[in-house]
Structure 1
Amino acid sequence: MESIQEQEPARSREQRYEALARVVAEPLHRYLRRRANADQVDDILAESMLVLWRRLEDVPGLDVGRVPAADAVLPWCYGVARGCLSNARRADRRRLRLVERLTRAVAVPAVQPQYGNHEQLHAALDALGEADREVVLLWAWEELAPRAIAEVTGLSPNAVSIRLHRAKKKLAALLERKTSLPAGHETADGRSTQ
């Protein structure tokens, strides 16, 4: 039977984890919903939360007795979720290779997320490399600063800033080609595009 002294640290650990979970569960769910198949999101989130429980002592900005600040804990937690998502993708690839070997069938195409009314934007995002796309999505969807993105991706903050700048410039060029008026045309407010 556990002594009172052994129960106290366990309860403190549970309280710290519960405080962390209240802060990060919803943002991690959104993060994964944007990147994974809908039927995998809950499983990957559960795996991410399990890793956070196991590595609770490693979470930066998580102090005893205080509610963690989202800015302090989220980048590290996004990195954990990213790793769990990568593991799930690798497992899917292994499973597909096994099915292919067993059935000698044509490769199963990857399921593409539903893009709704933003097909041009998603086509432009697809034109970016995987690392650049991830940096842009962390910046735009998760509203992370380059320093936090660096923590998620393992890149340096300087590398993130450079990638983000170049990727945004490329996106703007790709989208402008599809939406811009030829030079000399007037805009709705009467100004010339020259």
Structure 2
Amino acid sequence: MTEEESRHRQRARFEALAHVVAEPLHRYLLRRTGADAVEDVLAEAMLVLWRRIDDVPGLAAAPASPPDPDDVLPWCYGVARGCLANARRADGRRLRLMERLIRTQDRQPPGGDDHSDLHAALAALGSLDREVVRLWAWEGLTPRQIAEATGLSPNAVSIRLHRAKKRLAEQLGRKTNEPSGHKRDEGRSSQ
């Protein structure tokens, strides 16, 4: 059997299976979740059935006749049940993430530090420069690692990072020759 014949046979088996199970799975999901999620979960279940077509019990190797629903539906219900559980877990993760983001935004940092000027300065950078700075400052990546994450060369990352830091310093009003956080008389004796 050629590869094309094999693909054709697999497609015919799946179409025969889908014809038998799509409507019952749709009803099954409608009774267990909101109407807005049914189509997505059903699509995911059908994708799993396509990928695991050889594992479906009761499905003949050659689609001479449609499969018997009593033979294939129980296993397909199990697939739909698993896909629904995955969708619910994903929804829960998204909800927890949104709640955490809202709590983080609402919470003022200790000492009442306001970083709105920093966020405004970051927003003034181009999107790629902003991402390079964030990867460097927030994620602690080296220019070589940033290059891997962004698809730029390490040299281009170093140049972008240097220029972006310079623009940020200018926008934040730190155009002095002293490194930030140092006092002029620091480390000197008072004699």
Q: TM-score, normalised by structure 1?
A: 0.51
Question: Take 2:8 and 2:35, find their aligned partners in 1: how far apart are those partners?
Answer: 34
Residue number in structure 2 paired with 1:91: 90
Shift of 1:37: 1.3
Q: Which residue of 2 aligns with 1:9?
A: 6
Counterpart residue identity of residue 15, structure 2: E
Structure 2 match to 1:29: 26
Question: How far apart are the structure 1 equivalents of 2:77 and 2:2?
Answer: 34
Q: Percent identity?
A: 67
Runs of 4+ in structure 1 deviating by more than 4 angstroms, as ranges, are none
3-state SS, counterpart of residue 62 of structure 1: coil
Residue 109 of structure 2 corresponds to none
Aligned length: 102
Is residue 46 of structure 1 aligned with residue 52 of structure 2? no
Q: Which has the larger radius of gyration?
A: 2
Counterparts in 2 of 1:64-143, with a 5 A limit? 64=62, 65-104=64-103
Amino acid at match of 2:41: I
1 CA distance for matches of 2:14 and 2:103? Answer: 46
* Cα shift readout 1:118-174 (whole Å, capped 9, x = no counterpart): xxxxxxxxxxxxxxxxxxxxxxxxxxxxxxxxxxxxxxxxxxxxxxxxxxxxxxxxx
Q: Could you tell me which of 15, 20, 45 is aligned with 1:18?
A: 15
Normalising by structure 2, we get a TM-score of 0.52
Q: CA deviation at 1:66?
A: 2.6
Unaligned runs of 5+ in 1: 106-194
Cα distance between partner residues in 1 of 2:74 and 2:95: 31
Calculate the aligned-residue CA RMSD, in Å.
1.3
- Quote how far apart the aligned CAs of 1:104 are: 2.2
1:62 aligns with 2:59: yes
Determine the C-alpha separation between the residues in 2 that align with 1:10 and 1:92: 35
- For 1:21, give the aligned amino acid: A
